[in-house]
């Protein structure tokens, strides 16, 4: 059979060995490349078996699916794949579902349905109070999950986009649309140039970004003067973002290359 990674799954003429029923099902986006056209559902659960079960249920319901085994993976896939809806477990190690929901809500307005073994009324009420769109208890009926997903999506009916970068390790949030920054839950005032340099680093985090790349993206040219400006702006950014600017841990530099934002990019 043709490798899924090498094809466009929506061009049915190159999939002669798949039945029409199979083609009508949703696609597992963790297995293929390309831009999806169906509604996308992100499933966040630390149990791989539960993720795979929900993937199968939703694919049979005509949705494209994305799986994440924890908060970090969920935030990253939310940024890159922009799901239309999120199914979220509560009982996860390290960062639980409640905190994960708060991070997700800072990134996207995609509706969230909690799918959890916690069936106490107090948990259901808490979820609805903080803004989740629905609550499904485990074990669940497959048809119920599909029905609730469809109901929530009908209520929303608007495309969702990600306009923020969230870095939980550094407690840093960068809003690209409003050009706002918060560190450790405190807003940080920045000039246009400061924000532009930080945004370039954020988009590539945690990879190193060259002086040339920063200069061209912020000033449109690379010169000795622009590199001096970069170094000065990094100095200012460290004063605003680092706990100890004299010993930076967030914005690191490689003298022969450039700088990097030393935290995971979600």
Residue 2 has pLDDT above 60, yes or no: no
Nearest of 111, 85, 88 to residue 98 by alpha carbon = 88
Residue 24 confidence (pLDDT):
67
Share of residues in the chain with pLDDT > 70 (%): 84
pLDDT digits (tens, 9 = 90+) for 70-80: 999 999 888 88
Q: Residue 191 has which token pair?
A: 């000039």
Residue 265 has pLDDT above 60, yes or no: no
Higher pLDDT, 8 or 59: 59
CB 70 within 8 A of CB 92: yes
Nearest of 168, 190, 167 to residue 179 by alpha carbon = 190
pLDDT digits (tens, 9 = 90+) for 16-58: 444 556 556 777 766 654 444 588 999 999 999 999 999 999 9
DSSP string, 43-62: EE-S-HHHHHHHHHHHHHTT
Ordered by start, the domain boundaries in the chain are 4-156, 164-261
Q: What fold is seen in the domain 4-156?
A: Rossmann fold (3.40.50)
Q: What are the C-alpha distances in Å from 195 to residues 75, 103, 109, 179? A: 22, 21, 23, 7
Q: Give the predicted TM-score (pTM) of the model.
A: 0.52
pLDDT digits (tens, 9 = 90+) for 168-184: 888 899 988 788 999 99
pLDDT digits (tens, 9 = 90+) for 221-253: 889 899 999 999 999 999 999 999 999 999 999
Reported CATH class of domain 164-261: mainly alpha
């Amino acid at each position: 059979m043709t490798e899924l990674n090498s094809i466009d799954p929506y061009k049915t003429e190159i999939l002669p060995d798949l039945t029409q029923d199979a083609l009508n099902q949703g696609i597992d986006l963790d297995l293929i490349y390309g831009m999806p056209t169906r509604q996308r559902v992100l499933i966040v659960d630390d149990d791989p078996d539960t993720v795979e079960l929900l993937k199968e249920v939703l694919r049979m319901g005509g949705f494209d699916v994305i799986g994440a085994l924890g908060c970090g993976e969920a935030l990253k896939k939310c940024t890159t794949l922009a799901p239309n809806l999120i199914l979220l477990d509560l009982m996860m190690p390290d960062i639980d579902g409640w905190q994960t929901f708060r991070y997700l809500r800072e990134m996207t307005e995609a509706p969230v349905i909690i799918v959890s073994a916690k069936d106490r009324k107090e948990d259901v009420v808490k979820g609805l109070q903080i803004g989740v769109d629905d609550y499904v208890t485990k074990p669940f009926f497959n048809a119920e999950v599909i029905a609730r997903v469809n109901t929530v999506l009908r209520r929303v009916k608007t495309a969702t986009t990600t306009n923020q970068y969230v870095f939980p390790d550094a407690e840093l949030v960068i809003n690209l649309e409003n050009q706002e920054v918060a560190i450790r839950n405190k807003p940080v005032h920045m000039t246009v140039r400061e924000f532009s340099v930080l945004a370039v680093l954020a988009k590539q985090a945690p990879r190193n970004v060259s002086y040339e790349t920063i200069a061209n993206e912020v000033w449109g040219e690379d010169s000795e003067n622009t590199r001096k400006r970069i170094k000065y702006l990094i100095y200012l950014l460290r004063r605003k973002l680092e706990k100890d600017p004299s010993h930076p841990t967030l914005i690191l530099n490689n003298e022969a290359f450039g700088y990097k934002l030393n935290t995971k990019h979600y």
